[in-house]
Structure 1
Amino acid sequence: MSKLAWWQRGVIYQIYPRSFQDSNGDGIGDLRGIDARLDYLVSLGVDAVWISPIYPSPMADFGYDVADYCNIDPMFGTLTDFKQLVDHAHRLGLKVLLDFVPNHSSDRHPWFEESRSSRDNPKRDWYLWRDPAPDGGPPNNWLSRMGGSAWEWDEHTRQYYYHAFLREQPDLNWRNQQVRRAMNDVLRFWLDRGVDGFRVDVLWLLIKDAQFRDNPLNPAYGPGAPDHHRLLQTYTEDQPEVHEIVRSMRATLSEYGERVLIGEIYLPVPQLVKYYGTNGDGADMPFNFQLLSAAWNAGEIARMIRDYDSALPEHAWPNWVLGNHDNPRVASRVGTAQARVAAVLLLTLRGTPTLYYGDEIGMTDGAIGPDEIQDPAERRQPGIGQGRDPERTPMQWDSSLPNAAFTSGKPWLPIATTTSVRDQDSDASSVLSLYRRLLILRRNNAALVQGTIEHVAANGDVLTYERRYHDQRLFIALNMGVEEATVQTGAGVVLLSTLADRDGEVLVEGANRLAAGEALIASF
């Protein structure tokens, strides 16, 4: 496995910093809190931490509205705290990834304040400004992903500016070469401080149509869907020129050796895989989000695995994501029993897995009362289920202590459930113990890290596949149903089962039982 890059061998753990650990009692997680919990991540068995935005921000969208790309928001700490965190992580053998938010800044960023000061300001073209339509309205029909028009009128300069998200998040003009140089300098700023790579926010949105043409109507739009789904995003996403930007970012990271570039890209697989570029000049891993919205049945997921694996370019390294800060938690999507099956799936598929904090203890979505809503996506479009607060509730460390030991103050979001790390730490049957066992097994078996994936099949509710590397052959079976099933296997030994008493069991060639909601890994 030494021939692989660290990000190919490893497992990434996403931390939503507001919700991981508070060190100063203000109810919001911070860098010192993350630093204090690094030993836990080592004991879990992950290899890298990806930290969601920690830059100075008015927090209109909780850090995704950046006011300074080269500093730390006081809410989270200081640059000194960050350097101490990186150094501590490296001593423990952990890599540190940062969220990079290049599509848009805050409207309070000095760049935008200059841009909107006058039409002839040198930074005017750093953002997307357009004259009104003949009727005085927005320049075209483009819609914000947070609801309503994507164009905001600026009375001072008598033009509209474009914002794909909140009006407080004006989009940068990535056709401007000065913007590209400035953003590459931002990458270098953090690389100089030891970061091991970046997850790039909404990478596929960076370039917009140069002619600003209207998006066509979406014939499939129906009631209850987000407002921007009324239109097909033909001219506001996945433009051909975006790949030039990806190549530039990849080249910048390559100046620093083995650094990883991960892209947030919500696109169908045939479009997604184009972001790998040619022979390593694109994103190392365009995030593969299929499991976040997959119908939880064996046939659908078998098809998904086969289609994804066959679509990958020869040089491409696969990856899988089970949860993140923008989607309901896996235990809420598939149920607590099947969440164990999902854990085995994630950590035995071919490619790099990304875990979302708290999934390793089976955290479920929190219940957020109307007066507790924080997320602007829900505030602007209430009642359509776009709110992301439920999956962002604080990490539950110790249910015997107030606020589950997340904070000594009032948490920014309510604590979701009663389970905790402390409850599960010494319980061999817990979800946490399952994740630890899976991560140890993955680390010690080359077939799970760099082996091929073969014989992907579904038989009723049972999904099966093999991982092979040289003479090592592992068989994985996942019962996604609510009834016991049988599975055809060769003669072998169970290395791990979600039923703890099966570890080490000898399998005979032929039909073997698989309990409802059981997943197992066997060696043949």
Structure 2
Amino acid sequence: MTTRHQADDHDAGISPEVHSHHAAHSTAPCVTDSVLWHVYPLGFVGATIRPDSPAERHCIRGLDALIPWLDYAAELGCTGLLLGPIFQSETHGYDTLDFSHIDDRLGGDAAFDRLAEACSHKGLRLILDGVFNHVGRNHPAVKAALAEDSDSPWKNIVALKASDEDASQAGLQSPESRLPLFEGHDSLVELNHNSPKTVEYVAEVMKSWLDRGADGWRLDAAYAVDPEFWARTLPLVRTTHPETWIFGEVIHGDYPAFVRDSTTDSVTQYELWKSIWSSISEGNFFELDWNLQRHSTFLDSFIPQTFIGNHDVTRIASRVGAQGAILALAVLMTVGGTPSVYYGDEIGMTGIKEERLGGDDAVRPSFPDQPGALHINEHAEELAVFDAHRALIALRHRFPWLQQARTESEHLENRSYTYRSTSCDGHAWIVTQLNLAPSPYVTIHDAFGTQLYDSRQGAA
């Protein structure tokens, strides 16, 4: 073995003993090394979320306000941009009015084109949020359903619920009362996913924005839709865009079965998210260990979309503090999955989600025009969290096999946990040690025992 090969093996975290036995039999698949920066655009640009008049729908800053931030995302080590909803909507983006145009508050279609071009130029994948379970009450498909217009091109894309015959005869049941509402939200009307027209409609929307520069889709509330709908829709998208990446928002249940039956590429790993922050907050790493065992079985059939923060949940730093957030990030970056970093988490931002109207606003903040306005270097805690993100994302890129890594416990107590992350072919591994006492810290070593990261010191 030459000196160069020895250095290459060491850098990959490959044990020489394991290498000698298995190198000739490697069957590790070639996978894409991706880390996403997740942004909620309406919040990021400071748009009025619940406008009371047309004047409040004016564009303060468009989607292209993200362009000065692409280098910031790349500096973190992110290789893709995951956007929250951007299409014309009434309020928060999830009550869509028109999937064919970008929201006026985000600068319209031209702003998207400029952002997509900039992402392509900088080599960042652009992932969009597809809210195809439901639409806003003023969507034309809802209006057609309420009017019971048999000649409308929107016919059957929304279907009224069957009427109560007794109530109808008594004149007590209006068409509005028969709208299929999503989880009881009066402003969100479910699409008719049994209709071939809805399949065609959603597929055409997805393809049109892929044609225009997007690289993939997040399917909002995918769990609320029969997987058969996705199984009929997504193959139509892939006929013209076979390389697109599509993942669904799924909270609970049988993740592998959903991926299989829906033909999605992945789903959101909420079980892992919960166990990461809960184990750190409660001092119970047994919960995390159990979920990592389960997580490893998921990797046998798909690569989960992993996260420790998003637009729907309380900020990780609000749950576990800045040092605890670094531990959470270390887990995210050393286990299998396609991880995303929610904007602001990289500097330890806080924010608590509340169950009320506007309760998401605290976790969907506006950002300044330029990254320099954050003044990260002037705040020691923010800088420490930012540096941890750069170091741990760089570590993940250094070992791209981590996207499919399986984990195995080496030491487990309530407040300390050591696990090994091993490549799916068994050729390489790293060891992560999490400790909560006397204060939270994490260390990472390669297969040779060489220190790769220590949160008390930074990257090795």
Question: Does the TM-score normalized on the shorter chain lie above 0.5?
Answer: yes
Pair 1:378 & 2:356 matched: yes
Q: Which residue does the alignment assign to 1:259?
A: 244
Tell me the SS of whatever aligns to 2:178. strand
Per-residue deviation at 1:347?
0.8
Q: Which residue does the alignment assign to 1:476?
A: 432
Q: Which residue does the alignment assign to 1:171?
A: 190
Q: 1:273 aligns with which of 240, 256, 267?
A: 256
Q: Is the 8 A contact 2:307 2:332 kept in 1?
A: yes
Q: 2:127 aligns with which of 97, 107, 111?
A: 97
Tell me the SS of whatever aligns to 2:126. strand
Q: Which residue does the alignment assign to 2:449?
A: 492
Matches within 5 A, 1:109-148: 109-118=139-148, 120-122=150-152, 123-133=154-164, 136=167
Structure number with higher helix proportion: 2
Q: Is the 8 A contact 1:456 1:466 kept in 2?
A: yes
Q: Which residue does the alignment assign to 2:107?
A: 77
Using a 3 Å threshold, how does the CA distance of structure 1 residues 131 and 482 change in structure 2: closer, same or farther?
Answer: same
Higher relative contact order (CA 8 A, sep 6+): 2
Q: Once the two structures are aligned, what percentage of the paired residues are identical? A: 24
Q: Which residue does the alignment assign to 2:82?
A: 50
Task: Compute the TM-score of the two structures, normalised by the length of structure 1.
Answer: 0.71
Using a 3 Å threshold, how does the CA distance of structure 1 residues 488 and 188 change in structure 2: closer, same or farther?
Answer: closer
Q: Which residue does the alignment assign to 2:268?
A: 287
Pair 1:308 & 2:308 matched: no
Q: Is the 8 A contact 1:396 1:421 kept in 2?
A: no
| Structure 1 Cα separation of the partners of residues 173 and 157 of structure 2 | 16
Matches within 5 A, 1:79-478: 79-118=109-148, 120-122=150-152, 123-133=154-164, 136=167, 155=174, 157=175, 160-165=178-183, 166-207=185-226, 242-246=227-231, 248-253=233-238, 255-268=240-253, 271-277=254-260, 282-294=263-275, 295-296=278-279, 297-310=284-297, 312=298, 314-365=300-351, 378-379=356-357, 387-395=359-367, 405=373, 421-423=376-378, 430-455=384-409, 457-469=411-423, 471-478=427-434
Using a 3 Å threshold, how does the CA distance of structure 1 residues 12 and 108 change in structure 2: closer, same or farther?
Answer: same
Per-residue deviation at 1:21?
4.0
Structural RMSD (CA): 3.4
Q: Is the 8 A contact 1:479 1:485 kept in 2?
A: yes
Aligned pairs, how many? Answer: 412
Give the residue type in structure 2 aligned to 1:394.
S
Deviations 1:460-503 (A, max 9, x none): 311221123454331111113445899999872211111116x5
Using a 3 Å threshold, how does the CA distance of structure 1 residues 113 and 486 change in structure 2: closer, same or farther?
Answer: closer
Q: Is the 8 A contact 1:30 1:76 kept in 2?
A: yes
Using a 3 Å threshold, how does the CA distance of structure 1 residues 243 and 485 change in structure 2: closer, same or farther?
Answer: same
Structure 2: unaligned runs, 5 residues or longer: 1-11, 13-27, 49-55
Tell me the SS of whatever aligns to 1:82. helix
Using a 3 Å threshold, how does the CA distance of structure 1 residues 136 and 45 change in structure 2: closer, same or farther?
Answer: same
Per-residue deviation at 1:200?
0.3
Give the residue type in structure 1 aligned to 2:62.
D
| Structure 1 Cα separation of the partners of residues 388 and 293 of structure 2 | 26
Deviations 1:176-197 (A, max 9, x none): 1111111111111111102100
Tell me the SS of whatever aligns to 2:147. coil
Q: Is the 8 A contact 1:250 1:261 kept in 2?
A: no
| Structure 1 Cα separation of the partners of residues 345 and 195 of structure 2 | 41
Q: Is the 8 A contact 1:89 1:96 kept in 2?
A: yes
Structure 1: unaligned runs, 5 residues or longer: 138-152, 208-241, 369-374, 380-385, 406-418, 505-524
Tell me the SS of whatever aligns to 2:89. coil
Give the residue type in structure 1 aligned to 2:328.
A
Q: Which moved more, 1:296-305 or 1:249-258?
A: 249-258
Q: 1:12 aligns with which of 33, 36, 54?
A: 36
| Structure 2 Cα separation of the partners of residues 488 and 58 of structure 1 | 47
Using a 3 Å threshold, how does the CA distance of structure 1 residues 430 and 159 change in structure 2: closer, same or farther?
Answer: closer
Q: Is the 8 A contact 1:243 1:277 kept in 2?
A: no
Task: Compute the TM-score of the two structures, normalised by the length of structure 2.
Answer: 0.80
Using a 3 Å threshold, how does the CA distance of structure 1 residues 66 and 494 change in structure 2: closer, same or farther?
Answer: same
